Amino acid sequence: MANVTIWNEYRHERNNPDVAKVYPAGMHAVLAEALQSAGHNVRTATLDQPEHGLTEEVLAQTDVLLWWGHAAHHEVQDQIAERVCQRVLQGMGLVVLHSGHFSKPFKKLMGTSCNLKWRCVAEKERLWVVEPSHPIAEGVPEHFELPHEEMYGERFDIPQPDTLVFLSWFPGGEVFRSGCTFTRGLGKIFYFAPGHEEFPTYRHPVIQKVIANAVKWAAPSGGPAPTFGNFQPLEPLP
């Protein structure tokens, strides 16, 4: 069981009636319920809370942070984004969802533009498990479909992932590395592409399973915190 904080921009759900119909209490509420059912200890945080709900204290108590943002990436204060990155480097897991590819923390941790192709016409997305040995693929079928999603297509400008877990297929002719793991400092990161706000993607049982698996995988695993700086020799020097 991990201590999870679900961060959601939480604007579309309040401003767009179509989104509100799908997620009346916000995407974070649906995700919170799913992760609680999976046995995790969950809290939520949103952009418009003081410090975006991500105080030093909250982050210190968070094993894994989920991040969904889209229209207001630029409203996230630099200092808070940096705080999130520092906590990841210290070992907090990070699960970046959908349009979070363009969030400040993800871009800073990747060091690249994280740009991609997109198209939002409610087309089908099919996800394929390409690395079935990975814990994030536990209990996931070899392929599964979302009837309506936003297309995200390659080239996805990320560093080569540690493990490519999922690939996506779109009817318009594109492919996408839709489930990718990374390690930065002591922190484990999973990027997962599905989750456009107008579709009930986070209500899909397989999507919920993947995210619950990712939380379990990304939780700190208790390795040694490195020491840095000037270091005395362990052996007598000649």
Q: How far is CA 235 from the centre of its chain?
A: 44
CA–CA separation, 223 vs 169, rounded Å?
37
Specify the residue, 45 or 129, whose C-beta has the smaller distance to a copy of itself.
129
Cα–Cα distances (Å) from 46 to 9, 97, 136, 159, 172, in that order, read: 5, 15, 26, 28, 34
Q: Which of 88, 81, 120 is nearest to 102 (CA)?
A: 81
Q: How far is the CB of 11 from a copy of itself (least distance, A)?
A: 21
Q: Which of residues 217-236 bind a copy of itself (CB under 8 A)?
A: 221-235
Among 32, 109, 193, 214, indicate the residue that binds a copy of itself (CB under 8 A).
109
Specify the residue, 32 or 129, whose C-beta has the smaller distance to a copy of itself.
129
Q: Which of residues 43-82 bind a copy of itself (CB under 8 A)?
A: none
Residue 128's DSSP bridge partners are 143, 167
Q: Which of residues 159-198 bind a copy of itself (CB under 8 A)?
A: 159-160, 162-164, 167-169, 171-175, 177, 182-188
Classify residue 4 as exposed, middle or buried by CB count within 10 Å of its CB (0-12, 13-18, 19+). buried
Among 18, 50, 74, 133, indicate the residue that binds a copy of itself (CB under 8 A).
133
Specify the residue, 108 or 203, whose C-beta has the smaller distance to a copy of itself.
108
Q: Which of residues 20-39 bind a copy of itself (CB under 8 A)?
A: none
Phi-psi region of 51 (alpha: psi -120 to 50; beta: other; left: phi over 0): left
* Residue 157 interacts with a copy of itself (CB under 8 A): yes or no: yes
Which amino acid is located at 234 in the chain?
Answer: L
Q: How far is the CB of 184 from a copy of itself (least distance, A)?
A: 5
Q: Which stretch binds a copy of itself (CB under 8 A): 2-10, 15-23, 40-48, 113-121?
A: 113-121
Q: How far is the CB of 190 from a copy of itself (least distance, A)?
A: 13
Among 34, 116, 193, 214, indicate the residue that binds a copy of itself (CB under 8 A).
116
Specify the residue, 153 or 200, whose C-beta has the smaller distance to a copy of itself.
153
Q: Which of 48, 64, 51, 65 is nearest to 10 (CA)?
A: 48
CA–CA separation, 78 vs 75, rounded Å?
9
Q: How far is the CB of 13 from a copy of itself (least distance, A)?
A: 23
Q: How far is the CB of 188 from a copy of itself (least distance, A)?
A: 6
CA angle 73, 34, 123 (to 5 degrees): 60
Which amino acid is located at 169 in the chain?
Answer: W
Specify the residue, 24 or 171, whose C-beta has the smaller distance to a copy of itself.
171
